[in-house]
A and B are shown apart, each in its own frame.
Chain A
Amino acid sequence: MAELTKKEKSKRYLNPYLGGVLLGLVLLSCNFISGRGLGASGAVKSVVGASIQAVDKKAADHSLFMAEFKEGHGDKPLKNWLVIEVLGVIVGAFISGAVWGRLKFRVEHSPKITSQKRLLFALIGGALFGFGAQLARGCTSGAALSGMAVLSLAGFVTMMAIFGTAFALAYFFRKLWI
């Protein structure tokens, strides 16, 4: 086989079904070892709560959010399973990007929109996702995927709400993608 060009190599991905089995095995070992699922948005919550605590030591006295946060996260909110797992995610994704030659600063966007528009919608989308994940007590990984693996009703409800809404809105945002 001819040597792949750099660009061709950077567009190669795992077979999706193999990727799915591997992801499933990661999730399975996670449940076997730690008795819990994977997650992402929970780590953001820990960092947010820890930062509020650092600025205002008495935040828990006047903010209900911080009072409940302290109850759930204790005195060291950053020494937390999800925070450490997400640090691992950053390292793991970086290693994979290095292996496949995908480490590069760039804005990925459809040629039909400017990169400014892509960045604006990325920021808005992130804010909505962060907010929604708080309300639903987890995101696509923590609530939907990990929930489904343990047959949790919450996992299925959240999964259907996320994907159903995105499908329903796809027509209105098609210019961003196609």
Chain B
Amino acid sequence: MGPLVANGIISENTNLLLAFFIGIGFGFVLESSGFSSSRKLAGVFYGYDMVVLKVFFTAAITAMLGLLFMSLFGWVDLDQVYVNPLFLRSAIVGGVVMGAGFIMGGFCPGTGICGASIGKIDAILFSVGLFVGVYFFAFTYSWWEKLYKATPLGGKKVSDALGMSDGLFALVLILVAMGMFYAAEWAEKKFPREEY
């Protein structure tokens, strides 16, 4: 049955129309959760506001469990769901650069766009910065091409890499997340937030 577009249940144009509504849901939930505020987002790195960790991991677990159960019931064919390929070196270097951008800018691309949508001027500047960064990459691509294409490992699953079944890995991740939620609640009490 699913994914609907891969199995011809909906057309490519319907898929694009639905992308708009999925985006509305995405933007609405991010903004309602407080992700349009750099102050709330950066809180996760100092302990005064752990909303990023709570929302991020709850969302990852919800979607992961949903997909595993839907696959179990035969509602979705996981082989037709896109698994992003791993290029180990560029994923790490790119992630490190993004982490530096996160602590300086206080947003990530999706949340920056949300902040800009409600008039946060810092988020608008962050979004302008995104374009600067991508143009820079485009014009200097020959410098990075080797790094960009190094160590291709394909669309590998973390459960396979660890030699676990998908279900067992999901259980481990849920337990880890529970531990992190507990630590997050503790941190928010220990590092109270200064209002401004």
Residues of A within 8 A of B (CB): 13-14, 16-17, 19-41, 44-45, 47-49, 52, 63-66, 69, 79, 81-82, 84-97, 99-100, 102-111, 115, 118-119, 121-143, 145-170, 173-174, 176-178
Contacts and interface: CB of A to CB of B under 8 A. Distances in A.
Interface in B79-109: 80-88, 90-109
Nearest to B27: A92
7 contacts: A13-B32, A19-B29, A20-B55, A24-B58, A89-B23, A122-B38, A140-B102
Contacts of B33: 13-14, 16, 19-20, 23
A21 to B, nearest CB: 5
Contact of B26 (A33, A92, A148, A165): A92
Contacts of B22: 26, 29-30, 33-34, 38, 85, 88
Contacts of B120: 106-108
Contact of B110 (A24, A87, A89, A170): A89
A40 B105 contact: no
The DSSP consensus for interface residues of chain A is helix
A151 B166 contact: yes
Interface in B9-68: 10, 15-34, 36-40, 42-46, 48, 50-51, 54-64, 66-67
A35 B105 CA distance: 31
Contact of A154 (B20, B34, B85): B85
Given A93-B31, A153-B157, A125 B63 contact: no
B25 A92 contact: yes
Interface residues of B, number: 134
B15 to A, nearest CB: 6
Q: Residue among B86, B115, B147 with the most chain A CB within 10 A?
A: B86
The DSSP consensus for interface residues of chain B is helix
Q: Residue among B84, B86, B93 with the most chain A CB within 10 A?
A: B84
A176 B39 CA distance: 9
Contacts of B139: 65
Given A22-B29, A141-B108, A176-B106, A165 B99 contact: yes
B97 A44 contact: no
A38 B104 contact: no
B105 A32 contact: no
B126 A126 contact: yes
B119 interface: yes
> Which 10 pairs, one residue from A and one from B, show the smallest C-beta to C-beta distance?
A125-B105, A126-B129, A88-B23, A161-B95, A20-B58, A24-B62, A165-B99, A130-B133, A136-B94, A92-B27
